[in-house]
Structure 1
Amino acid sequence: MSIDPYTALVVALRDNSRDQLQEGLSGVALELGTITSSGLKLDRFKHEISDYMTAEFPGQLRMPQLELAGRIDLLEDSAGSRLRGQGQFSFDPSETEEASFLVQYQPGDRVLVIPLEGGHEALVICKVVGRSG
């Protein structure tokens, strides 16, 4: 059974991030918080933080050979006729040197946060979800 390349990418990013955080943040207290419509509310701090930082994960993106099935809509043939139907998409292995994985958060998301500068700054590391996802 082959491994889903997207799952492999997420696992690699998670493991890399975890290792770097453990190395650089030993002894730093982490907080849980909630993204609001206008900022970040930490569980143990009564004021909302309107200007907070988020983690970005720069690196090299490597994609294995991949085949996907899907729908094709609104392609034009050489006569200008529109085509629709099912298709098989094949992608060759590729690498992108300057890739970046930036997480987008929505109001209500529970997040893991590193308070910085005595609590005056906050760095959101990741979204926190229950076991069921």
Structure 2
Amino acid sequence: MNKDPYGQLASALYSSVGKHTRQALGGVGAVLGTITGTGLKLDDFKHEFQDYLVAELPGLLSVPSHMETGTMMQSGQLNWENKQTSFNFDETEIEDARLSLALKPGDRVLAVRVNGGNDVVVVCKVVSGHG
């Protein structure tokens, strides 16, 4: 019995496209990881990344008006009265401010694979929602 050659070709193409799609998407997406002393270890990958990227958020920093309390210093020494003083700060905006992640070994992070999974970008530090 002759099999349909067009059906066989369509089946082979379908299988091949599905395989390539799974491979392409396998290296994409967000994953949890841990900062180590020498790099980044992703939860779903057995090797450590020693070269990875860290997100930096440039923008406008808005600081509301607020009051702080502290002790005045003179030439690095406490003033002779050693009294608490209140400092009032007006609302202000700082242009070209940058928020950079300060990461240390043991920190849990959310990372995203880019460039087909060849590069990893740490997006943020993650912490427990329970406190």
Provide TM-score, normalisation by structure 1. 0.69
Q: Who is 2:94 aligned against?
A: 96
Q: Structure 2 CA distance, aligned partners of 1:118 and 1:34?
A: 21
Aligned pair count reads 101
- Equivalent runs, 1:1-133 vs 2, <5 Å: 29-72=29-72, 74-76=73-75, 83=79, 84-133=82-131
Unaligned runs of 5+ in 1: 1-27
Shift, 1:63, TM fit: 1.3
Q: Is the 8 A contact 2:71 2:78 kept in 1?
A: no
Percent identity, aligned pairs only, is 45
Structure 1 ranges of 4+ moved more than 6 A: none
Amino acid at match of 2:51: D
Unaligned runs of 5+ in 2: 1-27
Q: Structure 1 CA distance, aligned partners of 2:32 and 2:123?
A: 10
Computing the radius of gyration from Cα coordinates, the structure with the larger value is: 2
Provide TM-score, normalisation by structure 2. 0.70
Amino acid at match of 1:101: L
Shift, 1:50, TM fit: 0.3
Structure 1 window deviating more from structure 2 (45-54 vs 113-122): it is: 113-122
Shift, 1:70, TM fit: 2.2
User: Deviation per CA, 1:9-62, whole angstroms, max 9, x where unpaired?
Assistant: xxxxxxxxxxxxxxxxxxx52111000000000011111000111111110111
Q: Structure 1 CA distance, aligned partners of 2:48 and 2:83?
A: 50
Q: Structure 2 CA distance, aligned partners of 1:87 and 1:53?
A: 43
Q: Is the 8 A contact 2:107 2:125 kept in 1?
A: yes
Q: Who is 2:23 aligned against?
A: none
